[in-house]
Structures are given as structure tokens and as C-alpha cells.
Amino acid sequence: MNAVVQMFDNAPRSLVEERAIRPPIIGKIRPGIKVLTRAAQGNPQAVAMYNEMVIAGDSYETIGKTIETKLKLRNALVPRNVPHFTCRRSDFSNPDTADEILRLYGEDRGDGVKLHRFPVMFAFDDWLRNVPNQMAAYTTTGRQYFSEYRRDGKRYCKTYAPVERDERAKRARRSFGGRLVIHRQDEDIPDGICDPHMCPQYQERKCNLTANFLFAIPDVKGLGLIELPTNSIYVLQKAYSAMQTVALARGRLTGTRFWLSKKEFDITRIDDNGQPVRQKQMLTVLDADIDLGALLDSGDEPQPALEAASRAVALIEAAGNVEVLPESLAGHADGEPETGSSMHEGSNGDGDGDGELSGQQGQAETLEEKRHRMSDLLNRLGMSQPERQQDFRKYAHVTYGRGWAERPADVDQMNVRLTAALDDRAALDDEIKQAKTYV
């Protein structure tokens, strides 16, 4: 009993326990690859070295540094987006782990065994601990500026305090417990608040989003987690939505098997001339085996799991139409380095966060997209309370019948009714009250 009490005692007992606990990382899966720049491709030696080191399984960081050092080139590699993930032996503390992942979940789609889709399980029920993210600017010596949130809800720009000198010892003063973090306060950011519109580093594309998925892969052994970097705000938005839905439906994130895959989206970004440019981008997508339609269609008396799941409806972001960051996410991320020159390889292939995410051009709206649009409407209509969610399910069941959420025509009609209710909520409330009398 004493051991249990001591385990949960918040008071630190050693120097190690004074610092925040971070999960051990045993390897990294990347969302893309790195290739030679056009200038480097014109150098036969660089091409030969790159091909040899890729075949040998060296990390892209090692490949880039070797080519740049030996051939006196600058920024020899650039990220390239691909339809699969990169799982290399050099990115794992135990190289055999990469081989095991590819053996279990790799697929050969005509270009060799690649990692296109694989299951993951998260270690924490707090989504932010599973996908830590921040604004950060890197130099050749490491992180220079980074964002943190305070209890006032504002995002502040932090940096490291200048190293003090010990005049007596004629050397730098030793820092106990790591470098001292302070608010950035200079001519560019006088108030210390992180505002990308006013930040010269952000405008120069030196400060952007840096984020990492932290997870375990089923049947893959190792005392630690695996990370997958991303620099896309759209990836974070969709991952946040998926995690919130599962957390509310099942009460927790741990113990749920999610899936990571790559999907092509149309991205509209603003070029240097201020003109919108549309391009296709492969983005990392997080999903889970959960029947949202069954949760929406439940017209019976609420059960604990279904009652919690109903609240997830109002939290699902409109798929393919992401423009506004969820409030709880907006407090933690906005961008990440776009090239490998920042010494942070998390930029390999998930695109930047400066544009709009649109649906597949020329394609009809899918049933899933219809449901997501309905979720957004429910959120705007204030259907976030458990009782309101249950009343809505009864109303939908009475109006359209069992299985309505699986029929696109019925979902379309519901979306039309909910859109009209934005201007006249009282009428919808009356209809919902009447429906309760029939159940």
C-alpha cells in the first residue's frame, strides 16, 4: 500500500522527477522522402553518392550532410511528397524494428514493399500528448524560437536566455536543469506574443508548425514510442477531430486501434504574387474503425456509450472544407519548416499550412462528407449537450426512419432542414419536441 501511495505522490523525489516526463522514442516513420535539388542533380558525384546511400539505408539527414560536406554543396536535398510512408532502418534505435514493421504492414503496389497504411495505438488519453505541436524556428545550431501557451489563453514566443559569463572563472556560467527559457522581447516582438502576421521569421518561412504523432504499432516490440512528423495544419485538424470523436464515443483514446494512411487532397495556397494556386497534395490521415452512422441513427433510450458518443457529432470538423482551427487546437499550432535546411526533418512531405483545404475537384460529395457537414451544422445550432443530442436522434429517427444516416438522400434533407434552422431555431425546437411525444 505504501508503494502505491508513493507512486502517485506528486512531490519529486529526485532530480530526474523534477523535469517533465517524456516518453522514450525508439524510431521515426517519415511522411515522405528527400531527393537531390535540381542543382545537385547536375553533379554526377552527388547522384552516385545519393543512390548508394539510399540503397544502404542511411538516413536522409546523413545523406544530406555527407554530400554537402564532401562535395561542398549547400542544401543538397529537398523534401518530396509521396503516396507512402518512409520506414528506414537508420531511423530506429534497433534497425530490425523497421524490417518488422514492413514485414507486418508493408504492401507491394508495383514499386516494391512500401508502408502505405498501418495501425497505431496511442499511449495517452490526452490528444495533445499524442500529437505535441508548436510554432518553432530553427537555425543550424538548433531551436531558436518556439511557442508556448499560458493560462491566459495567449500564445507566447519563447526563446533561450543569453548565457551569462562568470567573470571570476572567465567562462560561461553553468546552467542547472537545462537552458533558461524566457519570453522573446525584441524590436520585432516587443510584447512577447506569438503573432505570425507580425513575426519576421514566419514571414520569411523560417518559423512554422512542428508536430509529431507519438504512438505504438501493434505487434511491434520495443520499450518506447514511434514518432511521425508533420508540418500540415490540415493533418492536425483532421487528427484532432478523429481523436475527439473516438474519445467521446468510447470514453478514452488508449486501447483503440487507429490507422494512419496517405490521401490526396486539393490544396489552394497563395503564391508570392498573392494569387491563389491549386495543387494536389498527399496528406497523412488518421482514422479508426468506428460506425458513426450507427451512433447517429440510435433512436432508442440512451446507453452510457451512445450518450457520450452523441456529443462527438458536434465536434467533427467539416471534411474537405477546413478553414477555421478548432478552439482547443488553435492554442497549440500553426506551421512548421518546409525544407530540410531547418535541421528538422519533420518537413518531409506533408505540405505547408498556408492555404485552404478543398474537396476533391469534380467529385460528388460523399456520404461521409455529407455527415461531416451535418456535424458542423449541429455544432452551430448548439446541439452539444447530451440531452439535446439524444432529442435530435429521436427526432431524426421519427422523421426519416431507422437507417436514415446510411441513406444519402435522407442526410441531404436533414442538412437542408438544419441549414434553414440557422435562421429559425425555434421552429426546429418545436419539431424536436413534437417528435419526443411519438417515442
Q: Across residues 224-235, what is the average pLDDT? A: 92
Q: How far is CA 193 from the centre of its chain?
A: 23
Q: Up-side HSE of residue 32: CA atoms within 13 Å toward CB?
A: 27
Cell of 26: 525508439
40-50 residue pLDDT tens:
898 999 999 99
Asked if 181 contacts 191 with a C-beta cutoff of 8 angstroms, the reply is no
- DSSP string across 131-180: S-EEEEEEETTEEEEEEEE-TTS-EEEEEEPPPPEETTTTEEPP-TTSPP
Cell of 407: 441513406
281-298 residue pLDDT tens:
889 999 887 666 665 565
At CA 434, angle to CA 430 and CA 439, rounded to 5? 145
Backbone angles phi, psi at 377, to 5 degrees: -65, -40
348-380 residue pLDDT tens:
455 544 455 554 444 577 887 787 778 778 877
Query: How confident is the model at residue 246, as a pLDDT?
Result: 80
151: pLDDT confidence band, cut at 50, 70 and 90? confident
301-326 residue pLDDT tens:
444 444 444 444 444 433 333 333 33
The DSSP secondary-structure symbol of 315 reads: G
Among the listed residues 89, 57, 53, the one whose alpha carbon sits nearest the alpha carbon of residue 68: 53
pTM comes to 0.67
Q: Which of 26-30, 203-207, 235-239, 383-387 is least confident?
A: 383-387
57: pLDDT confidence band, cut at 50, 70 and 90? confident
Q: Across residues 9-20, what is the average pLDDT? A: 74
Query: How confident is the model at residue 9, as a pLDDT?
Result: 52
Measure the CA–CA gap between 418 and 18, rounded to whole angstroms: 52
pLDDT at 390 over 80: no
Percentage of the chain beyond pLDDT 90 is: 29
